[in-house]
């Protein structure tokens, strides 16, 4: 039974890379706006299905990828401008319900445009699976990890080395002080949503060749990404990345060693456990402070 | 109190309409649709207490509906229990589960609570799917008998219509009285300002937990009635989507009023039926039911932005 462990670890890390990308989207929006954006998972769905569309139009993978990320980033920005901004002064729960509405509407839009059939998406590089340290890894799995690593590095550079990134961090620490320092908080909100859209699109585009793309894939992936973010404290990008990989490996191990029936329940057991640990103060790391 | 008398009058009128309507409406389709309005309204009523008085959103309320349906369904269909005893136990199971789950998670607030209830709802769903020895798994549970008093069986749409609406009106009357009582005043105080209420000697956490348990019981009762009406249950209608649908009903109807849940449930059911009737031409490829979700999403957004108090007006939600 333990023979499978390298395989479970490898599969878990690949899935974990996806959860980490999605979780980062939650963290960027939450740390700046204190909003849990339920529509995050639908950005993933849009990313996957747009890849299908561009590939069907004959675009190569790199062009399709860039176009997909740009379009979904724009969707994220529009969501902020049209729906979130009018509710700036409303309570967190009102905005949560709003983003649930946005998620349902986007999923519905996906259904109207692409229908209910799952689409196969061409892998970024064709070829048979590779054997690495006793585990079989599909080539796309390496793409997932590689793209995730590049995205993490780019984000690190953006947040620590650029003016705009520093402004985003300033807003996350204290929006009022940031405004007094001349940072336009509205623009930072817009940027945060656009970035989270882009992150969701990247996750969707790289995962689609492994899982197929369907209009309803966003709900579960979004929830898992959220659990990854919560696991990492919901305001920490590094925490979300670690949380994503941890959740992916946990799920894969649970499915392999215990029972595959409850694989999807693992994430939610973790979610409740982390929420409870938060109240009882047993969490070894800092968790979000509620407004 | 004037409001108590007005409410009693309203309920008596409503009860008379409920008693008379089946004779006036011979259409089984209309009656059956109205049965579902009552059942969804009852389920949403539980959630609206949580949203309106505890100021919290439960994203796992469908789990209580499922618990009610499965407890009553399993006890009667698999073990041959009396339907009313099973229904009472189902209702109690809703309350007990809410207390057990709510005990720890109601110490969370706002977002974390919403998320923990979401996790709870999804876990219950997986248990229903995987615990197939008892629940029948994905293929479900068949042969749930209708409720009966002696030889009188609630097995026609007209009879279930009176039963479901009777239950709804009874619960509306009871919760209405509760809201007007000392407990209700304490609840409203907590909803307005928790700190001020606690300063006045109200144990806010215990009250909120009580509301959650009551909500669990009411939603489970709706689930039990649903199981005896449809005779066949499987896990798919009790997923996260139904939890969201209940939130839509409450937001649509408005959390400030108990009748808001009824209004919201009626609006959602009517919307679904209208879409089903209007859309087939447009959606020949995959049934109109799938397209409901676009409209639900847009409605939820529009209401949160422009009409946060819902159709029944009044106080802003949480």
Write out chain A in H/E/C secondary structure.
Answer: CHHHHHHHHHHHHHHHHHHHHHHHHHHHHHHHHCCCCCCHHHHHHHHHHHHHHHHHCCCCHHHHHHHHHHHHHHHHHHHHHHHHHHHCCCCHHHHHHHHHHHHHHHHHHHHHHHCCCCECCCCCCCCCCEEECCEEECHHHHHHHHHHHHHHHHHHHHHHHCHHHHHHHHHHHCHHHHHHCCCCHHHHHHHHHHHHHHHHHHHHHHHHHHHCECCCHHHHHHHHHHHHHHHCCCCCHHHHHHHHHHHHHHHHHHHHHHCHHHHHHHHHHHHHHHHHHHHHCCCCCCCCCCC
Residue A285 confidence (pLDDT): 52
Is A278 in Cβ contact with B293 (below 8 Å)?
no
Q: Which residue of B has its CA nearest to A87?
A: B305
Backbone angles phi, psi at B18, to 5 degrees: -60, -40
Is B112 in Cβ contact with A275 (below 8 Å)?
yes
B residues 59-78 lying closer than 8 A (beta carbon) to A: none
Q: How far is the alpha carbon of B305 from chain A, nearest alpha carbon, in Å?
A: 6
> Cα(B42)–Cα(B38) distance, rounded to whole angstroms?
6
Residue A284 confidence (pLDDT): 54
| B45: three-class secondary structure by DSSP | helix
Confidence of residue A89 (pLDDT cuts 50, 70, 90): confident
Q: Which of A42, A92, A101 to mutate to test the interface with B (most CBs of B within 10 A)?
A: A101
Residue B161 placed within a domain: yes
Residue B312 confidence (pLDDT): 67
Between these two residues, A283 and A32, which has the higher pLDDT value?
A32
Total domains in the fold of chain B: 1
Backbone angles phi, psi at B238, to 5 degrees: -105, 20
Backbone angles phi, psi at A77, to 5 degrees: -65, -45
Q: Which residue of B has its CA nearest to A116?
A: B286
Is B119 in Cβ contact with A269 (below 8 Å)?
yes
> Cα(B212)–Cα(B102) distance, rounded to whole angstroms?
7
How many Cα atoms sit within 13 Å of B200 on the Cβ side? 14
Q: How far is the alpha carbon of A127 from chain B, nearest alpha carbon, in Å?
A: 35
> Cα(B71)–Cα(A185) distance, rounded to whole angstroms?
51
Residue B308 placed within a domain: no
> Cα(A272)–Cα(A100) distance, rounded to whole angstroms?
20
- Give chain A's largest Cα–Cα span: 60
Say how many C-beta atoms besides its own lie within 10 A of residue B99's C-beta: 16
- Cα dihedral sign, B204-B205-B211-B214: negative
| pLDDT, tens digit, 9 for 90 and up, residues B227-249 | 999 888 888 888 888 898 898 88
Q: Which of A103, A105, A288 to mutate to test the interface with B (most CBs of B within 10 A)?
A: A105
Sort out which chain A residues have CB atoms less than 8 A from B114's CB and list them. Answer: 93, 96
| pLDDT, tens digit, 9 for 90 and up, residues B145-177 | 888 887 788 878 888 888 889 899 999 989 888
Q: What's the Cα-to-Cα distance from A142 to each of A3, A153, A238, A247, rounded to whole Å? A: 22, 17, 21, 18
> Cα(B221)–Cα(B214) distance, rounded to whole angstroms?
11
Is B318 in Cβ contact with A91 (below 8 Å)?
yes
> Cα(B317)–Cα(B53) distance, rounded to whole angstroms?
10
Is A109 in Cβ contact with B294 (below 8 Å)?
yes
Residue B304 placed within a domain: no
pLDDT at B87 over 80: yes
pLDDT at B1 over 60: no
pLDDT at A67 over 90: yes
Residue B292 placed within a domain: no
Is A276 in Cβ contact with B116 (below 8 Å)?
yes
Sort out which chain A residues have CB atoms less than 8 A from B104's CB and list them. Answer: 276, 279
Query: Considering chain B, what percentage of its residues have pLDDT values greater than 90?
Result: 22
CB contacts < 8 A, A to B, total 139
**B294 and chain A in contact, CB less than 8 A:** yes
Sort out which chain A residues have CB atoms less than 8 A from B130's CB and list them. Answer: 261-262
Of A290, A135, A144, the residue nearest A221 (C-alpha):
A144
Residue A249 confidence (pLDDT): 94
**B103 and chain A in contact, CB less than 8 A:** no
Is A226 in Cβ contact with B301 (below 8 Å)?
no
Q: How far is the alpha carbon of A45 from chain B, nearest alpha carbon, in Å?
A: 15
> Cα(A275)–Cα(A288) distance, rounded to whole angstroms?
11
Instruction: Considering only the beta carbons, identify the residue of B126, B294, B298 that sits closest to A262.
Output: B126
Q: How far is the alpha carbon of B120 from chain A, nearest alpha carbon, in Å?
A: 7
Is A93 in Cβ contact with B318 (below 8 Å)?
yes
Is B123 in Cβ contact with A290 (below 8 Å)?
no
Is A92 in Cβ contact with B297 (below 8 Å)?
no
> Cα(B84)–Cα(B91) distance, rounded to whole angstroms?
11
* Mean pLDDT confidence for A153-179: 90
DSSP A37: -
> Cα(A241)–Cα(A224) distance, rounded to whole angstroms?
13
Give the torsion through C-alpha atoms of B299, A290, A34, B242, to 10 deg: -30
Residue B206 confidence (pLDDT): 85
> Cα(A172)–Cα(A159) distance, rounded to whole angstroms?
11
Residue B283 confidence (pLDDT): 52
Question: Across the strands, what pairs with B153?
Answer: B148
B207 is in which domain, residue-wise?
2-240
Sort out which chain B residues have CB atoms less than 8 A from A264's CB and list them. Answer: 122, 126
**B253 and chain A in contact, CB less than 8 A:** no
Residue B174 placed within a domain: yes
Question: Across the strands, what pairs with B7?
Answer: none
pLDDT at B255 over 80: no
Confidence of residue B277 (pLDDT cuts 50, 70, 90): confident
Residue B112 placed within a domain: yes
DSSP A131: E
* Type and span of the H or E element at B149: strand B148-149
Question: Across the strands, what pairs with A131?
Answer: A136
Confidence of residue B317 (pLDDT cuts 50, 70, 90): very low
Q: Which of B111, B132, B303 to mutate to test the interface with A (most CBs of A within 10 A)?
A: B111
Between these two residues, B24 and A57, which has the higher pLDDT value?
A57
What domains are defined for chain A?
A: 2-280 (1.10.3470)
* Mean pLDDT confidence for B109-133: 85
Residue B99 placed within a domain: yes
Q: How far is the alpha carbon of B68 from chain A, nearest alpha carbon, in Å?
A: 21
Backbone angles phi, psi at B146, to 5 degrees: -70, 155
Backbone angles phi, psi at A86, to 5 degrees: -60, -20
Lookup result for tokens 């609570």: B113
Question: Across the strands, what pairs with B148?
Answer: B153
Instruction: Considering only the beta carbons, identify the residue of A97, A104, A275 that sits closest to B115.
Output: A275
Supply B289's token pair: 């039911």
> Cα(B61)–Cα(B243) distance, rounded to whole angstroms?
5
DSSP B291: G
Sort out which chain A residues have CB atoms less than 8 A from B109's CB and list them. Answer: 290
Q: How far is the alpha carbon of A62 from chain B, nearest alpha carbon, in Å?
A: 31
Confidence of residue B269 (pLDDT cuts 50, 70, 90): confident
Is B296 in Cβ contact with A104 (below 8 Å)?
yes
Query: pTM for the full model?
Result: 0.86
Query: By the 8 A CB rule, do B256 and B310 touch?
Result: yes
Query: By the 8 A CB rule, do B256 and B314 touch?
Result: yes
Q: How far is the alpha carbon of A99 from chain B, nearest alpha carbon, in Å?
A: 8
Ranges A128-132, A152-156, B242-246, most confident: A152-156
pLDDT at A93 over 80: no
pLDDT at A287 over 70: no
Q: Going along chain A, which residue ranges are E strands?
A: 130-132, 135-137
Residue A290 confidence (pLDDT): 42
> Cα(B75)–Cα(B93) distance, rounded to whole angstroms?
12
* Mean pLDDT confidence for B266-285: 72
Lookup result for tokens 């985003």: A168
| pLDDT, tens digit, 9 for 90 and up, residues A186-229 | 899 999 999 999 999 999 999 999 988 999 899 889 999 999 99
Strand duo B152-153 + B148-149: pairing:
antiparallel
């Amino acid at each position: 039974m333990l023979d499978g462990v390298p395989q479970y670890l490898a599969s878990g890390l690949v899935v974990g890379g996806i959860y980490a990308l999605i979780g980062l989207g939650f963290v960027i929006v939450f740390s700046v706006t204190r909003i849990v954006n339920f529509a995050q998972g639908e950005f993933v769905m849009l990313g996957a299905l747009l890849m299908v569309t561009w590939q069907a139009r004959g675009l190569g993978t790199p062009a399709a990828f860039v176009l997909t990320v740009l379009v979904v980033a724009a969707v994220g920005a529009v969501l902020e401008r049209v729906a979130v901004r009018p509710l700036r002064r409303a309570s967190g729960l009102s905005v949560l319900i709003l983003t649930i509405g946005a998620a349902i509407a986007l999923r519905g839009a996906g259904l109207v445009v692409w229908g209910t059939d799952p689409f196969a998406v061409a892998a970024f590089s064709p070829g048979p699976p590779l054997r690495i340290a006793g585990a079989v890894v599909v080539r796309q799995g390496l793409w997932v990890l590689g793209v995730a690593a590049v995205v993490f590095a780019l984000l690190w550079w953006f947040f620590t080395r650029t003016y705009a990134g520093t402004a985003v961090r300033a807003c996350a620490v204290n929006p009022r002080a940031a405004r007094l320092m001349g940072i336009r908080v509205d623009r930072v909100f817009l940027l945060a949503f656009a970035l989270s859209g882009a992150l969701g699109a990247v996750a969707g585009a790289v995962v689609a060749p492994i899982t197929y793309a369907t209009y309803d894939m966003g709900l579960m992936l979004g929830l898992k990404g959220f659990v990854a973010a919560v696991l990492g404290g919901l305001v920490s990008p590094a925490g979300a990345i670690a949380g994503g990989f941890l959740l992916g490996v946990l799920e894969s191990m649970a499915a392999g060693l215990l029972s595959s029936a409850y694989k999807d329940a693992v994430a939610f057991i973790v979610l409740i456990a982390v929420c409870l640990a938060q109240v009882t103060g047993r969490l070894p790391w800092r968790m979000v402070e509620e407004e | 109190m004037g409001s108590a008398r007005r409410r009693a009058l309203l309920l008596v009128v409503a009860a008379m309409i409920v008693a008379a309507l089946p004779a006036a409406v011979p259409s089984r389709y209309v009656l059956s649709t109205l049965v579902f309005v009552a059942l969804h309204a009852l389920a949403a009523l539980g959630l609206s207490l949580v949203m309106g008085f505890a100021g919290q959103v439960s994203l796992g309320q469908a789990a209580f509906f499922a618990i009610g349906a499965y407890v009553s369904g399993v006890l009667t269909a698999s073990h041959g229990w009396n339907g009313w005893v099973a229904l009472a136990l189902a209702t109690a199971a809703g309350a007990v589960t809410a207390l057990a789950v709510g005990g720890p998670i109601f110490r969370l607030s706002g977002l974390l609570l919403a998320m923990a209830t979401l996790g709870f709802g999804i876990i219950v769903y997986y248990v229903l799917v995987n615990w197939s020895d008892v629940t029948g798994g994905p293929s479900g549970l068949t042969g749930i008998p209708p409720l009966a008093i002696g030889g009188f069986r609630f097995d026609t749409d007209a009879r279930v219509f009176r039963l479901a609406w009777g239950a709804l009106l009874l619960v509306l009357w009871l919760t209405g009285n509760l809201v007007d009582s000392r407990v209700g005043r304490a609840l409203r105080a907590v909803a307005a300002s928790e700190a001020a209420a606690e300063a006045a000697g109200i144990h806010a956490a215990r009250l909120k937990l009580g509301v959650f348990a009551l909500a669990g019981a009411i939603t489970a009762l709706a689930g039990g009635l649903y199981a005896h009406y449809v005779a066949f249950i499987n896990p798919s209608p009790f997923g996260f989507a139904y939890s969201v649908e209940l939130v839509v009903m409450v937001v649509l109807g408005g959390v400030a009023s108990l009748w808001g849940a009824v209004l919201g449930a009626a609006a959602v059911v009517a919307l679904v039926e209208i879409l089903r009737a209007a859309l087939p031409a447009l959606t020949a490829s995959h049934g109109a039911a799938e397209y409901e979700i676009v409209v639900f999403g847009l409605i939820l957004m529009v209401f949160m932005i422009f009409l946060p108090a819902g159709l029944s007006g009044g106080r802003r939600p949480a």
